[in-house]
Amino acid sequence: SVYENGNDIAGQIACQEKALALDPQSPSGRIDLAFALVLNQRNIARAEAVLQELNEDDLVPMARVYHDMTRGVIALDAGRYAEAEARFDQAGESWTAFESDPLSKSFRWIIQGCHAAALRRLGRIEEAEAMFAEVQPFLEATREFSVLNRWNGR
């Protein structure tokens, strides 16, 4: 979003809250808000509450990827590393259907960076380091501190 690119996370979340208030049943509105809450503010409880009313069976394929990614970050931050790894693995597999879109490459880097952080915490160090090395230059260039900090244990 414009707010996210401008590093105005509070503005991003406020905008997403207003959008969700206009359409409370919107799966994408719920997922977008929950993703911003957990990725940028580490607000696990609020992100989970936003997703609680979401019917996962109604998700279109692209929304399912974002949902798995959001649930993965929630699990990672909550210390549920095996669950996080499974969610990131699913998100990564599902993402392959959308990789031809060059504008969405950065999301793939976020999935892979967080997936590597989960693997690292599961003790799968070599696999984690190899996975992270593939995306680290992109994460650093795009200043994805939310992912870089998770990799570094912060």
Local confidence band at 3 (pLDDT 50, 70, 90 cut-offs): low
In the three-class reduction of DSSP (H, G, I as helix; E, B as strand; rest coil), residue 123 is classed as coil
pLDDT in tens, 75-95: 999 999 999 999 999 998 888
**pLDDT above 70 as % of the chain:** 94
* pTM: predicted TM-score of the whole model, two decimal places: 0.89
Local confidence band at 106 (pLDDT 50, 70, 90 cut-offs): confident
pLDDT in tens, 33-88: 999 999 989 999 999 999 998 988 889 988 999 999 999 999 999 999 999 999 99
